[in-house]
Amino acid sequence: MDTSKKELLKLLTQNTHYHAYQLFEWMLDDVLADIIGQRKKFPPPLEAVPAIREISGCYAKCVKLGREFEDILGDVYQEIAASSTQKHFGQYFTPFSVATLMAQMTMGDLRQYQSDDRICTVMEPACGSGAMILAFARAAMNKYGPDILPYLSFTAIDKDSVCARMCAVQFMSNLFVHRLTLGEICVYSGNSLTFEDFKLIVHASKPGYTPPPADDPKKLTQIRSAALAKTHGEQISLF
């Protein structure tokens, strides 16, 4: 873990007034509020705000110093779980190096989308911290340059609302900090097979492009198809 991530982890775990998990969730909400204006219905106590702002600023620094679409929060989140006496999460995210290799293997030729002015849809029905789709975005950019990103649409879902927000924060932060334009990003929390407790976290698209609404029946059908495919071992689904 690099120095900037260690600094972020320290701020989360060495606070004497609040648990690291609670601070982590507040930080996610704070970043989403800064970028897309999504305010939490029940905000944190006022006395916690300075600590939350410091943590959010440290995360922004990590994004700025890191490479585009790096999975920063997945590493930090797992460190919090590993050092906790509660250990009730039982979640293990795909290492980013593995996610990158898998993205490169499944990417195919994306130039066809540029030449035909179409959108390539990538769906991840159990996104965790977003490592797989972050790796796909980076691999695509490294191979074709940032001009490929406006032709990519990412849809991510996770049953754990913290993971869903983590994925949304990482994508939106990278677009904002590195000044990148993406075709579309749509993140939900909930069950991608049954749509139980289904909730939209973020839906944003490039200027001039109007994607189908987040509750479009065709999109929901694609999500369920991607979830079924993943149960058979497929990690990234392209449509």
Per-residue pLDDT of the chain in tens (239 residues, 90 and over written 9): 788 889 999 999 999 899 999 999 999 999 999 998 877 777 899 999 999 999 999 999 999 998 899 999 998 998 888 766 544 455 667 788 888 888 888 888 999 998 888 899 999 999 999 999 999 999 999 999 999 999 999 999 999 999 999 999 999 999 999 999 999 999 999 999 888 889 999 999 999 999 999 999 988 888 888 888 777 666 566 55
Closest by Cα among 10, 126, 145 to 68 = 145
* Residues facing 91 on adjacent strands: none
Q: List the alpha helices (DSSP H) in 67-184.
A: 73-83, 96-106, 111-116, 131-144, 161-177
Backbone torsions φ then ψ of 152, nearest 5 degrees: -115, 135
Query: 10 Å Cβ neighbour count for 88?
Result: 9
**CA of 174: how far to CAs of 59, 107, 130, in Å?**
11, 20, 12
Looking at the whole model, is its pTM more than 0.85? yes
CB 27 within 8 A of CB 55: yes
pLDDT reported for residue 92: 65
DSSP SS3 for 166: helix
pLDDT of residue 84: 60
